[in-house]
Amino acid sequence: MFGTLLFPDLPSIALGQSLGIWPLADSQQPIPIVHERGTVVSPHSLRGMPAQRAQELQPHAPLLVRQPSLEDAGWDAIVERVFALTPYLFVHNRRITAELPSVPAELVAHFNARCGIAPSPTMSLLAALSAEPCADPVVVAAGKEAAFLESLPVGALLELPELGVDVRMVEKLELFGLSTVGRLRMLTAAQLKAQFGQNGVLVHALLSSLSQGLPDGVRGQESARRTMYELPPTITARERFTDGVQEPALLALAAGGLCNKVTKELLRVPWKTSRIDVSLLDKADVPMKTASRILRAPTSDARFIATQVQAMLEGLALRGVSSWGVHLKLASLSRPVPHQLSLSSKTLMGRGYRETLAQAASALQGAMVKRFPGATKRIDVVDPWAYTPDRFAIIGQWREAG
């Protein structure tokens, strides 16, 4: 059996983890509302609604602006959780298909996921489309596929953006009497192409894969079913205790040493991290409790990372329970983006850079300053990391060379 997981509320979950409000402490507390240009993208129940209207319906839910970079870090955390169940994953378009007989209920509940289980990957995907977030999986038993497809509305294909199905296409299919996916399978590739062009070809390819037992996008590649998924790189460190430790000061001391190790490795590559995981271990080296935090911006700052780890560790400390180790992981790693300020740094700038900058300044003075003497200014940045550069810079007339 195969299981497919969809995560329609990923934008809300990622921002909630970044702000420290996810998972929700109270099951009755509304999930954060995330909007993009005034239109709600998450949660799934409010998607497409104006943000102001959604806030009126759920006044206690925080209204947040979408941040795709945080969603990338949140997605990495989700894939890692599923990878712990099985390394044989097919990840595509923020969906996960795995060869699993069942999916843990706590995983579905924690990420507000939609889950479908069926004998083939594509059938499990369609089953997941008919499931509700944070609800029991929709299970399609062997031999019941035709009945399920006959009950699945063709409008479910709207949630697969790679197919290019739009509302007009769905309305046209319903007008032809093809209101379910089961009936849509009766059409040939030529018929769908004649009516809907390349989008029709994509729909036929998806429906054809139902009988071949392959994930969409990998038809004809039998080995793809058993390909082991490769997780993104992470930096980890672990401190093991010979005896159980309950004292918070000792846990904090161990975490400080781990922070030094991981930040040295982070700066050596170099990388920046967007997610920090801290775990307390039991006597068998199994995590007893884990805290995960998505950072608002990638960082390699050792002091900032240490501060976050200490704050997370305080929330993990269990009274009367001994910990036999601490595990620290930096995940969602990315390369630092080069910035122009490094060219003007005396410590990083070689002779070739100085000559290039001198030539550029000379060319600017000759071409621009003489023609626009009043409009060309020279800005000396005092503090390049300031949020208000106008307060930490000197703006004056362009000085003559020499």
- What DSSP string runs through 290-348? EEEEEEEEEE--HHHHHHHHHHHHHHH--TT--EEEEEEEEES-BPPPP-GGGGG-TTT
368: which DSSP letter? I
Left (φ > 0), alpha (ψ -120 to 50) or beta: where does 95 sit?
beta
Q: Nearest CA to 292 among 22, 90, 57, 2? A: 22
* 20/110 Cα distance (integer angstroms): 14
Contact 107, 23 (CB under 8 A): no
Residues pairing with 327 in the sheet: 238, 279
Residues pairing with 272 in the sheet: 334
Please state the pTM of the whole predicted model: 0.74
In this predicted structure, what is the pLDDT of residue 148? 92
In this predicted structure, what is the pLDDT of residue 344? 44
* 296/304 Cα distance (integer angstroms): 12
In this predicted structure, what is the pLDDT of residue 124? 92
Q: Residue 244: enclosing H or E segment and its boundaries?
A: strand 235-245
Domain range annotation of the chain: 2-225, 235-331, 353-397
* 51/39 Cα distance (integer angstroms): 5
In this predicted structure, what is the pLDDT of residue 332? 92
Distance of CA 364 to the CA centre of its chain: 44
Q: Nearest CA to 115 among 100, 123, 99, 127? A: 127
Distances (CA, A) of 376 to 201, 341, 390: 58, 20, 16
In this predicted structure, what is the pLDDT of residue 389? 47
| CATH class of residue range 235-331 | alpha beta
Which pLDDT tens digit goes with each residue over 327-348? 999 999 988 765 544 444 444 4
Residues 6+ apart with CB under 8 A from 52: 38
Residues 6+ apart with CB under 8 A from 284: none
SS3 label, residue 173: helix
* 71/18 Cα distance (integer angstroms): 10
Q: Which residues of the chain have pLDDT under 50?
A: 213-225, 340-351, 384-391, 400-402
In this predicted structure, what is the pLDDT of residue 19? 78
In this predicted structure, what is the pLDDT of residue 113? 92
In this predicted structure, what is the pLDDT of residue 79? 92
The 287-299 sheet, strands edge to edge:
235-245, 323-331, 273-281, 287-299
